[in-house]
Each structure stands twice: as structure tokens, then as C-alpha cells.
Amino acid sequence: MNKKGSRVERELVKMLWNANCAAMRAPASGGATKKPLPDIIAGNGKIYLAIEVKSTSADQIYINSEKIQGLKEFSEIFGAEPYLGAKFKNKKWRFVHVDNLIKTRGENYKVDIDLAFSKGLEFDELLGKDKQVKFS
């Protein structure tokens, strides 16, 4: 994990704690274990989240299919909702449910900035505190 990735993960964990969610980074994510682990696990007794975190200065993020399959598997066993937490440079966090990710020709996944801001949730929406009206 590079420094930028660790920094944004810590930033999100702090945001979750400040919003009254217990949250932790899963330091074994990224290949240190054979078990599928998300970058962040969080919950507040009402909602449980498993989040794969990606940040970029580009307009799209690509994610290996094994990461997404692992996130789905973990979430199913744990009882969490699986999300990609996307942090685009100079933009607010967006949280895209894994079912809304775009499958690439190479059988991996991607999310672009347009998808993140059309189908992704804002932080308060993710926690069920606010519902944003989205127009089609």
C-alpha cells in the first residue's frame, strides 16, 4: 500500500468514527493473507459496511476482479454491504455499491467520475443520514 492509499484509508476511518461508526482498517488487506479482506470494516449496530478504498487523480479507477469478488465474499459472510470508496482528486468521497461497477472487457471492474457522482452515495447517504434526490 502506498502512502497516499494509507492516508485516504485513515481519513475515511476518522470520518466514520466522527459519524458514530466503529471503523477499522484491515491491515492484512492487499495480499498479506489468503482470505478476502476489505480495506475498511465499519458499522454502527444498524448498518455494516465493507469498503474497498481507491483514490486517484485520474477520471477513472480500475479494480482487479479478484478484489471485488473477495469484497463480495467477505460482505456476504460478515453481513455487510460491499462498497467501493472512491476519492477523486479535489472531489468529495463517493461510495459505489459493487453491483453498480462497470465490468471491463478484461473481466475486471472500473468506476469513472461520472458513474461515481451519478450512482454513488455521498458520505451521509452511505450512513443512512441523508437521502439525495437523483434525477434521471
Nearest-angstrom CA–CA distance, 70 and 73: 5
Domain residue spans in the chain? 3-126
Give pTM, 2 decimals.
Answer: 0.88
* Alpha helices (runs of H) in the chain, residue ranges in sequence order: 3-18, 65-78, 113-119, 123-126
Per-residue pLDDT at 31: 54
Digitized pLDDT (tens) for each residue of the chain, 136 residues in all: 456 678 999 999 999 999 999 999 986 555 556 788 999 999 999 999 999 999 999 999 999 999 999 999 999 999 999 999 999 999 999 999 999 999 999 999 999 999 999 999 999 999 987 655 554 4
- 3-126 — its CATH code? 3.40.1350.10
**In angstroms, what is the C-alpha Rg of the chain?**
14
Q: In this predicted structure, what is the pLDDT of residue 32? A: 54
Q: Which of 6, 29, 75, 136 is catalytic?
A: 29
Decide if 6 is catalytic: no
In this prediction, residue 113 carries a pLDDT of 95
Specify whether the CB–CB gap between 107 and 65 falls below 8 A.
yes
For residue 136, what pLDDT is reported? Answer: 45
Contact status, residue 108 vs residue 92, Cβ threshold 8 Å: no
pLDDT score, position 85: 97
DSSP letter for 11, please: H
Instruction: State how far the alpha carbon of 17 is from the alpha carbons of 13, 40, 58, in Å.
Output: 6, 12, 28
Give the pLDDT score at 26. 84
Across the beta sheet with 109-112, the strand order is 60-63, 109-112, 102-103
Give strand pairing partners of 52.
Answer: 84
